[in-house]
Amino acid sequence: MSTQSKPVYLKLRDMIAAAIIDGRYAEGEMLPSVRALAAEQGANPLTVAKAYQQFQNDGLVEVQRGVGMYVVRGAAERLRRSERENFLRDEWPEIRARMARLGVSATELLADA
Amino acid sequence: MSTQSKPVYLKLRDMIAAAIIDGRYAEGEMLPSVRALAAEQGANPLTVAKAYQQFQNDGLVEVQRGVGMYVVRGAAERLRRSERENFLRDEWPEIRARMARLGVSATELLADA
DNA sequence: AGCGGTGTATTATGGCACTGATGCAGTCTG
DNA sequence: CAGACTGCATCAGTGCCATAATACACCGCT
């Protein structure tokens, strides 16, 4: 019975990525401060910072010290593309193999998309 | 870049489950001994034992002390069913939402089958 | 009985990821 | 400048994971 509890900072990272792709964190706008998001999510500010860190490294977010972090132009599309590539290259083959083993029909599940 | 590799005992558990479902570890036959599998996989016998443990708890494997562990009749099918349920209930919805967000279409996934 | 094969229990130890508390550095506004 | 807000760095604590070294209990064979 794998509870599969991903680390908090990765869960936050996924939430943030989704929000950027969906435009809820719009390009050019400021992200919630680490403290604000930490309070909202009941997490530690440092854990939130760790989640933000990766977006800075990838140049999807710009830091203005003392001010805040901003979503750069084109971040949503770039993020969507890279996530998409990763999904198709790394995750989907495994998922597909797993589904085959378990007797789950991919065509059937994807039909009513 | 945290590779975030799953714990060894869980990876082993997945390997074993796959082998049972595929019939490579056939019903009624004896599983590799903890020491043998440990040597083969370069792991610690206790780690292998931990992986085996869960199958005993679920009654998919029978222990004959001093002899070995045997795959019970119907284990493959039972395991396949439960894994299938878990997959459809826990994993598939998330995968599906993720695909929608990333703009992955059903047709393109099934094309390169 | 003896031997070698099984799984199991115990204890100790090292590593590493995650989380947390505190304080510092930079920027803006009044 | 004073205060309140930003992000960031440092240090420390915690828990899980994996390993290791033994020792034990059971079974089947010779």
Domains of chain B with CATH codes: 8-111 (1.10.10.10)
Q: What is the rounded distance in angstroms from the CA atom of residue A8 to the CA atom of residue B110?
A: 34
> Quick one: which of A27, A34, A36 has its CA closest to A71?
A27
Residue A27, classified by CB atoms within 10 Å of its CB into exposed (0-12), middle (13-18) or buried (19+), is middle
- What is the pLDDT at residue B40? 92
Q: What is the pLDDT of residues A26-72, one digit of tens each?
A: 999 999 999 999 999 999 999 999 999 999 999 999 999 899 999 99
A62-97 burial: b if 16+ Cβ within 10 Å, else e: beeeeeebbbbeebbebbbeebbeebbeeebeebee
Q: What is the pLDDT of residues B67-83, one digit of tens each?
A: 999 999 999 999 999 99
Task: Please tell me if residue A67 touches chain B, with a CB cutoff of 8 Å.
Answer: no
Q: How confident is the model at residue B112 (pLDDT cuts 50, 70, 90)?
A: low
Predicted confidence (pLDDT) at residue A1 exceeds the cutoff of 60: no
- What is the pLDDT at residue B110? 73
Å: B66 CA to C2 C1':
16
Percent of chain B exceeding pLDDT 70 equals 94
Predicted confidence (pLDDT) at residue A112 exceeds the cutoff of 60: no
Q: What is the rounded distance in angstroms from the CA atom of residue B98 to the CA atom of residue B111?
A: 19
Q: Which nucleotides of D are covered by protein (CB under 7 A)?
A: 4-10, 16-21, 25-28
Q: Are A28 and A73 in contact (CB under 8 A)?
A: yes
Chain A stretch 12-31, residues whose beta carbon is closer than 8 A to a beta carbon of chain B = 18, 21-22
Predicted confidence (pLDDT) at residue A7 exceeds the cutoff of 60: yes
Q: What is the rounded distance in angstroms from the CA atom of residue A4 to the CA atom of residue B53?
A: 18
Q: How confident is the model at residue B111 (pLDDT cuts 50, 70, 90)?
A: low
**Between helices B92-102 and A75-86, what is the axis angle to 10°?**
130
For residue B70, give the 3-state DSSP assignment: strand
Least CB–CB distance from A107: residue in B18, B96, B110: B110
Of residues 80 to 109 in chain B, which lie within 7 A of strand D by their beta carbon?
A: none
| Angstroms from A90 CA to nearest CA on chain B | 13
Task: Please tell me if residue A104 touches chain B, with a CB cutoff of 8 Å.
Answer: yes
